[in-house]
Amino acid sequence: MPMEIVSAKLGRTHHDARHDYGGHLAHWCPACKELHEIAVDRPFRNGARWTWDGNGAAPSFSPSMNIRVGPYPQSSKKAGHVDVCHYFVRAGRIEYLGDCTHVMAGQTVDMPDLPESVHEQVRVSQRYHAVRDGA
């Protein structure tokens, strides 16, 4: 997804006003190995919104994040399964709660820096926008 870098650990997805999509902070989840968005500046479609302490190096968010994906359709390998990633972010530490379905359940880890793959995506999207804007 198109985004900008906010700090070593945080990005911000571009707000797509037409589709009411993005405009949220994002961090890398080492358990799910993907970006998780956190709605700070503007709420998610369901109205959910979090507070951020403004610290880019060791961020805190409140309340907890509770991400659920599924249940997967019967045709899928994970039929009926629900993936849960439930955690607090406090002072740059991700505290995974015990109900997570991934291997880091119950562990507390440092929030990793955004991986090189994300920086590469940002560079590609900036080139795309530069071309599109005729710069």
Q: Residue 29 CB, nearest distance to Zn ion (Å)?
A: 3
What's the farthest any 2 CA atoms get from each other in the chain? 50
Binding of residue 35 to Zn ion (CB under 5 A): no
Binding of residue 65 to Zn ion (CB under 5 A): no
| Binding pattern for the stretch 100-119 against Zn ion, x by CB under 5 A and - elsewhere | --------------------
Q: For residues 24 and 46, is the Cβ–Cβ distance under 8 A?
A: no
Binding segment toward Zn ion, per CB under 5 A, in 3-11, 20-28, 30-38, 45-53: 30-38
Task: Name the residue with tokens 């956190």.
Answer: 38
Select 63 or 134, whichever has its Cβ closest to Zn ion: 63
Q: Bridge-partner residues for 52, per DSSP?
A: 61
Q: For residues 73 and 79, is the Cβ–Cβ distance under 8 A?
A: yes
The only residue of 3, 38, 65, 85 in contact with Zn ion, by rule CB under 5 A: 85
Residues 103, 42: Cα–Cα separation, whole Å: 31
Q: Which residues bind Zn ion (CB under 5 A)?
A: 29, 31-32, 85
